């Protein structure tokens, strides 16, 4: 079997058996890393998922490629073939570039509070903090400087990267990854206006994150005001996302970077939300909805589908012209109505 010091990498046949793909060409071809079609060398396996890069199959130096059946005849290179080449690539990359295991144990500079339970197989890094009564599951990794609040629960095989913070009482499900600087369970933005003065409303809910999720660097998820903020299983969140208090994100939803979601919004399952989209509070978005990048969602979405509200980029001078015309739409509408009335009066006469 491959991936040893004396026999690095895997044969294509071995990879095919592990990832559920078909082999075409030389199944004995060995690869030890992933690479791109443009820059991969003879020891690399590349992939084609976007037709835009199909021409690179003719010039690539990669030793093998991953392709969809429709592209399999476009090259004589040894190849793995499957209906979802990008997913196959993800599996192959995980086999060729496995993460080094973390040594279990608690670093001498870490702080573990009274009554906390840290599994013997877990790893707690330098200057990390595990609060009182918190639970850290088997093979979980609490990175350097990360903080697990009092009474929080960290599931098996969870990884908190450096300086991630999980506030008191919050729950992180098994195999979830929380990247550096993310904050899970900070207070939601709950304020009451009393005669020109803001009164802070205690936020007494939690954040409950399901299994197999990924939370990007510097993403923040606010704890619920009363009930919990919930992130269901297999949700993938990019970097620098803001999710307000009492939101509910359905399983297998993916949200790209810099999205802002105001409080008490419910996002269904299997949704895809593009980068920098802004979603108003107290809305529902149905299962299977796709929201384009930079779209502003101000009202309830009742039917699943693809929605976009962003204006495509234009050359600057063209944009100035379009902007000027848009500002005159009210004037134009008034003139059209006046003409319609004049024509109607003439017809009546």
Q: Is residue 52 part of a domain?
A: yes
| Whether residue 301 sits in one domain with residue 327 | no
Which of 259, 225, 227, 256 has the alpha carbon at shortest distance from 242? 259
| Whether residue 190 sits in one domain with residue 41 | no
The domain spanning residue 20 has which CATH number? Answer: 3.40.1390.10
Question: Is the pLDDT score of 311 beyond 90?
Answer: no
| Whether residue 109 sits in one domain with residue 87 | no
pLDDT in tens, 178-215: 999 999 999 999 999 999 999 999 999 999 999 999 99
Query: Among residues 161, 179, 245, 248, which one is catalytic?
Result: 245
| Whether residue 19 sits in one domain with residue 71 | yes
| Whether residue 278 sits in one domain with residue 214 | yes
Per-residue pLDDT band for 4 (boundaries 50, 70, 90) equals very low
* CA 240 to chain centroid: 10
| Whether residue 131 sits in one domain with residue 280 | yes
Separation of alpha carbons 139 and 105, rounded Å: 10
Question: Is the pLDDT score of 5 beyond 70?
Answer: no
Whether the CB-CB separation of 117 and 97 falls below 8 Å is answered with: no
Average confidence (pLDDT) over 233-252: 98
Q: Is residue 205 part of a domain?
A: yes
Residue 245 designated active-site: yes
The domain spanning residue 134 has which CATH number? Answer: 2.160.10.10
Q: What is the pLDDT of residue 8?
A: 75
Whether the CB-CB separation of 27 and 78 falls below 8 Å is answered with: yes
Number of domains the chain is built from: 3
Task: Tell me the residue range of the domain where 140 lies.
Answer: 105-307
Which of 61, 96, 131 is the C-terminal boundary of a domain?
96
| Whether residue 115 sits in one domain with residue 232 | yes
Strand partners, 199: 192
pTM of the model: 0.92
Per-residue pLDDT band for 2 (boundaries 50, 70, 90) equals low
| Whether residue 115 sits in one domain with residue 72 | no
Average confidence (pLDDT) over 281-302: 97
pLDDT in tens, 56-96: 999 999 999 999 999 999 999 999 999 999 999 999 999 99
């Amino acid at each position: 079997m491959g991936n040893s010091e004396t026999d690095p990498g895997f044969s294509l046949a071995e990879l095919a058996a592990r990832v559920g793909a078909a082999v075409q060409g030389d199944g004995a071809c060995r690869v030890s890393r992933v690479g791109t079609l443009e820059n991969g060398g003879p020891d690399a396996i590349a992939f084609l998922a976007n037709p835009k890069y199909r021409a690179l199959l003719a010039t690539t130096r990669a030793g093998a490629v991953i392709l969809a059946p429709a592209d399999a005849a476009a090259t004589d290179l040894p190849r793995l073939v499957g209906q979802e080449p990008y997913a196959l690539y993800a599996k192959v990359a995980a086999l060729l570039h496995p993460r080094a295991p973390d040594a279990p144990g608690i670093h001498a500079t870490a702080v573990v509070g009274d009554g906390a339970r840290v599994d013997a197989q877990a790893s707690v890094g330098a200057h990390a903090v595990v609060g009182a009564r918190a639970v850290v599951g088997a093979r979980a990794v609490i990175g350097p400087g990360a903080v697990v609040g009092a009474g929080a629960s960290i599931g098996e095989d969870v990884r908190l990267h450096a300086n991630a913070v999980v506030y008191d009482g919050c729950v992180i499900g098994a195999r979830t990854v929380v990247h550096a600087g993310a904050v899970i369970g900070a207070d939601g933005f709950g304020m009451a206006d009393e005669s020109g003065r803001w009164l802070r409303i205690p936020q007494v809910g939690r954040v409950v994150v399901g299994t197999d999720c990924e939370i990007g660097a510097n993403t923040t998820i606010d704890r619920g005001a009363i009930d919990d903020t919930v992130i269901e299983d297999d949700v993938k969140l990019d970097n620098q996302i803001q999710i307000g208090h009492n939101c509910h994100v359905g399983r297998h939803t993916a949200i790209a970077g810099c999205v802002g979601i105001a409080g008490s919004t419910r996002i269904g399952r299997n949704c895809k939300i593009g980068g920098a989209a802004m979603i108003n509070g107290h809305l529902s978005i149905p299962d299977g909805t796709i929201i384009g990048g930079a779209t502003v969602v101000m009202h309830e979405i009742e039917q699943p589908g693809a929605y976009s509200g962003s204006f495509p980029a234009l050359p600057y001078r063209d944009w100035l012209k379009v902007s000027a015309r848009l500002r005159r739409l009210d004037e134009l509408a008034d003139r059209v109505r006046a003409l319609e009335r004049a024509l109607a009066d003439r017809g009546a006469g």
